[in-house]
Amino acid sequence: MGKKISLVLGLLISMATVFITPVYGSTRGLVVSSSDGRKIHFYDDYHALVIGVSNYRHWPKLPYAVDDAKEVAGKLKQLGFETKLCLDPTYRDMKAALTDMTYNVGDEPDRALLLYYAGHGETESLADKTKMGYIIPSDCPLIRTNPLEFSNRAISMREIESVSLKIRSRHVLMLFDSCFSGSIFSLVRAVPDDISEKSTLPVRQYITAGKSDEVVPDRSMFKRCLLIGLEGDADFTGDGYITGTELGMYLSDKVVNYTKRRQHPQYGKINNPQLDRGDFIFIPRKPVPDDVADSKAVKDEQDRLVALEMEKLRRENEELKKMKDLIDENRRLKEGFRPVESQKEIKGASLSRHNDRTRFKVAIFPFYLIEFDRQFHSEVVGNIFETLEKQMDIETLFTCYRIKTDKKYVKDIKGSIGRKEIWKEGFFSEPEPILETITRKGNDIGADLVITYYLEGVNEGDLSAYLIDIKKSKIYNVKGSYMGRDVRTVETEMLNNQLVEKFLKNRQAP
C-alpha cells in the first residue's frame, strides 16, 4: 500500500509538471509534449477499414457480424477515424479492399491505420505441424468440402502479414473478431508504458477474439468489450490515451471473464525487430482545438485530473487507516485484550472454543495447478506460510508440501490427500473446492483452517484463493489475475492479504 501511495504521489507530481497534452490540427492528427518540452508528432490522421461478413453462401450465416461492423465503424468515426465499410464482400471485394488499404490509404507514413474484421475464421494444419489461420469472404467454400477452391478464396494470415509489411504507415493495428491460428501470431507481449518518443516507432499489432479451437458466438462479446474499452475503460495508465497494448490487455481480461473462459483473446506485436517497438494510440476523450491547446482550458483540464487523483489518494488513505485499525485490533486480540464493547457483549457468556482462540491450526491442502512444476508448488507454499505468520498466530501448520523452515510447529500431513478428492472440476468454469470433503479431512487432522488455491498458466492466467473455516464449515474466496506479473508476488500481495483480512473481519463481527 505504501508503494502504491508513493507511485500516486509521483504521478501527481508528473501531471503537475509535464502533463501530456494532445494537440489537434485540421487533419485531426496527434501531437504530444514530451517530458523535456519537445513536441512529438504521432500522426496526421487516422484511417480504418472495417469488414463485416454475415451472408455466407457455404458457411453458416452470422446475422450480427454486419451490424457489429457498422457499430465499430461508428465508434471509430467518433474517435476521428476516416472509415471505410466493406460489408459481405466476396473474395474479389475483400482482396480489393485490402489492396486499397495497402497501396493507397497505407502509403502515407504519418498515418494510423486500423483493420477490423468480423466474420468466420478457419485454421488449417500444415505438413510441418504448424497451423495457418484464414479469414473467410462470403463466397469461400468450406475447406473440408472443396479444399482447392477454399485455398483460392480464403485470405490467409500469411497474406495479412504481407499486407502489414507492405503498408508504409507507421502504426498499424488489426483486430479480428474470429478465432484462428497462424505464424503471424507468434507475438511479442508487452506491458503498458508511458507515451514517449519510443511510442512513435513503427509497430504492427494484432488482437484476435479467441484461440483456434474456440467458437466465437454471433452475438460478439469481443465487440461489446471493444466499444466499452474505447470509451476510456481500457486506459490503464490514466493518461487520457489508449494504446494498442492496453486495449489488448483489456480485451484479454474482460472477454475471458464475461464468456466464463470460453474465449481467450490473443494480442501482441509482430515478432519483427523493425516493427515491434512503437504502440498504436487512440484518444478516447473529446479533441482540444489547436487555438486553445495552450490556453486556460487545457490548464483547467489538467487541474481537474489532478483533483481526481487527489480524491483517489484520499480514499486510499482512508482504506489504509481502516486496514491499520484492523491490524491493531487483531494484535490486541492475539495479546488477550478485547475492546470495551466486546467485553460488554460477552460478559457472562460462554464463547465457543473456536471463536475464543487466538492461535490457529492451519492446513494447506493440495492446489489445483495447471502447467506448474513441483518446485513451483513449494515456492508458493513458502510464500503463503510467510504471509500467514505475519497476519495470525499459528499454533500448528499442516502441509502436503515440503517447506524449508526450522519452525517446529510445521507438520507433514500423514497419508495422502489427493487433488481430485477435494476439487470439483467444471466444464465451462474453473474447478471449485469440495467443502464437505475438505471439512471432513480438516477435522480428521485437527485443523481450524484450510487454505488451497486454483492457478492456471505459467505466465498468465487466473488465480483463486480459498480459506475454509473448518469449525463453521464456511468458505472464503478471493480472485485475481497475474497477467504480466510473477504469480508468487500476486498471490502474496493480492490474495493472501485480502483472504485473511476477509476471514478475520468476519470472525470479529458481532
Q: Inform me whether the pLDDT recorded for 285 exceeds 60.
A: no
Q: In the chain, pLDDT over 70 holds for what percent of residues?
A: 72
Rounded to whole angstroms, the Cα distance separating 20 from 241 reads: 10
As given in the structure block, the three cell numbers for residue 115 are: 483493420
The mean pLDDT of 209-234, rounded to a whole number, is: 85
> Which pLDDT score is estimated for 19?
39
pLDDT number for residue 481: 74
- Supply the mean pLDDT for the chain: 77
Mean pLDDT over residues 236-254, rounded? 87
Interstrand relation of 393-399 and 359-364 (parallel, antiparallel or unpaired) = parallel
Q: What gap in Å lies between CA 241 and CA 232, rounded to an integer?
A: 8
What is the band of 339 on the pLDDT scale with cuts at 50, 70, 90? Answer: very low
pLDDT at residue 343 above 50? no
Q: Residue 72 and residue 223: Cα distance in Å, rounded? A: 8
For the record, the C-alpha cell of 431 comes out as 474447478
Mean per-residue pLDDT, 1-18:
42
Nearest one of 252, 178, 257 to 215, comparing CA atoms: 178
Q: What is the pLDDT of residue 299?
A: 62
Which residue is listed with cell 515456492? 379
- Of 111-115, 145-149, 356-360, 471-475, which range is least confident? 356-360
Looking only at the bridges linking them, the beta strands covering 131-135 and 155-156 are: antiparallel
Segment 414-439 shows an average pLDDT of 80
Of residues 440, 435, 441, 443, the one with CA closest to residue 468: 435
- Report the pLDDT value the prediction gives residue 430, as an integer from 0 to 100: 76
Mean pLDDT within 39-56: 89
pLDDT score for 353: 33
Please determine, for residue 500, whether its predicted confidence score (pLDDT) is greater than 60.
yes
Alpha-carbon distance of 48 to 109, in angstroms, equals 15
Per-residue burial over 188-203, b if 16 or more Cβ lie within 10 Å, else e, is ebbebeebeeebbebb
Least confident of 113-127, 149-163, 240-254, 453-467: 453-467
Mean pLDDT, residues 402-419 taken together = 80
| pLDDT-based confidence at residue 394 (cuts at 50, 70, 90) | confident
pLDDT for residue 1: 44
Q: Under CATH, to which class is 349-508 assigned?
A: alpha beta
Query: Distance between CA 476 and CA 466 in Å, rounded?
Result: 6
- Per-residue pLDDT at 85 exceeds 90: yes
Tell me whether domains 22-293 and 349-508 share a fold. Answer: yes
Stronger pLDDT, 283 or 149, i.e. the higher one: 149
Query: What are 353-381's pLDDT values in tens digits?
Result: 334 446 889 988 888 877 666 667 777 77
**Mean pLDDT across the stretch 4-24?**
41
Domain 22-293: assigned CATH number: 3.40.50.1460
The share of the chain scoring above pLDDT 90, in percent, equals 27
Cα–Cα–Cα angle for 416, 421, 424, nearest 5°? 155
Asked which of 415-419, 477-481, 491-495 is least confident by mean pLDDT, the reply is 491-495
| Of the candidates 44, 23, 26, the residue with the CA atom closest to the CA atom of residue 34 | 23
User: Angle, to 10 degrees, between the axis of helix 91-103 and the axis of helix 157-166?
Assistant: 20
Distance CA 383, CA 399 (A): 13
Cell of 113: 491505420
What's the whole-number mean pLDDT along residues 374-397? 78
- Over 60: is that where the pLDDT of 53 sits? yes
* Region 2-9 average pLDDT: 43
Q: What is the pLDDT of residue 222?
A: 92
Q: How far apart are CA 146 and CA 166, in angstroms?
A: 30
Domain positions in the chain are 22-293, 349-508
Strand partners, 432: 424
Each residue's pLDDT tens digit, 169-187: 999 999 999 876 555 555 5
Q: How many CA atoms lie within 13 A of 161 on its CB side?
A: 17
Grid coordinates of 39: 513536441
* DSSP one-letter code for 290: G
Q: What is the rounded distance in angstroms from the CA atom of residue 142 to the CA atom of residue 147? A: 7
CA dihedral sign of residues 214, 215, 219, 220: positive
Instruction: Indicate whether 262 pLDDT > 90.
Output: no
Q: Name the pairing type of β-strands 432-433 and 449-456.
A: unpaired
Decide if pLDDT at 460 tops 60: yes
Answer whether residue 351 shows pLDDT above 70.
no
- Distance (Å) of CA 278 to CA 27, 46, 94, 282: 22, 16, 28, 13
Query: What pLDDT was estimated at residue 359?
Result: 83
Any idea which of 77-81, 151-155, 450-454, 482-486 has the lowest mean pLDDT? 482-486
- pLDDT of residue 291 exceeding 70, the answer is no
